[in-house]
Structure 1
Amino acid sequence: MKEAIIVDKDGFYLEPTLVDDHVSGVFPLSELSGSRDYTTGSQIDTSLEIFEAYQVAISVPPGLYKPRFDFEAGEWTEGLSPEEIDTLRSKSQPQTIEHMARGLPKDALSLESRATVSQDDYVLQLMFDLQQRINDQSNRIADLEYHINQLKENA
């Protein structure tokens, strides 16, 4: 088994999936009539195929901030503009204690306590982000289990 990527109709990375080692290329993913509506949980009663995503069995190269598959070129590209990347890079640069202290009033917390508060906020944000990822993965697992059960029932 190897990793493939599910992308939206514009080629933007949605989530990883597993495919057989021999699978290569790009394949449309469709929902058939009787599929589940994930927003309401109800069944969709239409006989049309709805193409909303693609499975890309081509490795994503390292270093992309927002991977986007270019269907015409058949390769992964950067989905962010150079300006958006610069903004991300400037936000991710750690600030020194002296830099943070410049914006503080004279009667503000000491530099040491300010650094501790900043670290605590950072850790809390990391914990929140991790919980969000866990929740997203749990939802994906539930969706996969649902589809597996549907395939078993139709077999």
Structure 2
Amino acid sequence: MKAVPKVNTDGLYLEDTLMDDTFTGVVPFYSYMEQGIPNVLTTTEDVEKPNGEAPNEPESNISGYIIGITVPPGLFRPRFDLAAWNAYESTVSAAQNSYHEALSEWHALPEEQRGDMPVLESPPQPTLWIEGLTPEEIEELTRPQPQEPNEVDRLGTELVARELEALELRQQNEAQGAQIVGLELRLLSLENS
């Protein structure tokens, strides 16, 4: 078993799902809409429409695709290019048809006129996984976000602020103490005179 990506109908990555190791290609998956499904307790005669029509069958809708091609790393929101895949499949099919025709013609020739056997030349696979976000959305995602300070940073900032306040109060206290000493000295000198 291997994990393969599932995409929605727009090709945007949804999740991984487990598939057989030999799984390749692109396969749709469906959702079923229940419309008039008979109750398990009723019979088909009970649910027949008045005009004799058969009962409604579940309607299936393509919900997305299972992709047998791994998602390359480095995409923010991977998107599978379904149009490129369909074009590639058409090109591969045309190359196979051309090869089969050339091989049939080669087999139809007498052995001495055949020459080299035709070789199947498959077209190179295009890049099928593309970025699903616009450059502006990627810039928004990768822009550094302002970090809120954690408890330790907040307490450290408060501690520094309190130490600066204490230092300022000590300086004011020393200045006032010096003024008081100066006043006391003047008072003493007035008393002695």
What TM-score results when the alignment is normalised by the length of structure 2? 0.42
**Rg larger in structure:** 2
Match of 1:85 among 120, 135, 138: 138
AA partner of residue 30 (structure 2) = S
Superposed structure 1 runs of 4+ greater than 2 Å apart: 31-35, 93-96
Where in structure 1 are there 5+ consecutive unaligned residues?
A: 36-44, 102-109, 117-155
What TM-score results when the alignment is normalised by the length of structure 1? 0.52
Deviations 1:124-144 (A, max 9, x none): xxxxxxxxxxxxxxxxxxxxx
- State the shift of 1:115 in Å: 8.6
- State the shift of 1:32 in Å: 3.9
1:113 matched to 2:161? The reply is no
Higher normalized strand content (fraction of residues):
1
In the alignment, what sits opposite 2:82? Answer: 71
- Structure 2 CA distance, aligned partners of 1:94 and 1:114? 22
Match of 1:59 among 49, 70, 83: 70
Higher RCO (CA 8 Å, separation ≥ 6 residues): 2
State whether residues 11 and 71 of structure 1, in contact with CA within 8 Å, keep that contact through their aligned partners in structure 2: yes
State whether residues 4 and 18 of structure 1, in contact with CA within 8 Å, keep that contact through their aligned partners in structure 2: yes
Where in structure 2 are there 5+ consecutive unaligned residues?
A: 36-55, 86-127, 158-193
Count of matched residue pairs: 95
1:14 matched to 2:14? The reply is yes
- Structure 2 CA distance, aligned partners of 1:23 and 1:113? 55
Higher normalized helix content (fraction of residues):
2
- Structure 1 CA distance, aligned partners of 2:18 and 2:82? 20
In the alignment, what sits opposite 2:61? Answer: 50
- Cα RMSD over matched residues? 3.2
State whether residues 33 and 46 of structure 1, in contact with CA within 8 Å, keep that contact through their aligned partners in structure 2: no
SS of corresponding position for 2:72: coil
Identity within the alignment, %: 39
Distance 1:112 1:57, change over 3 A: same
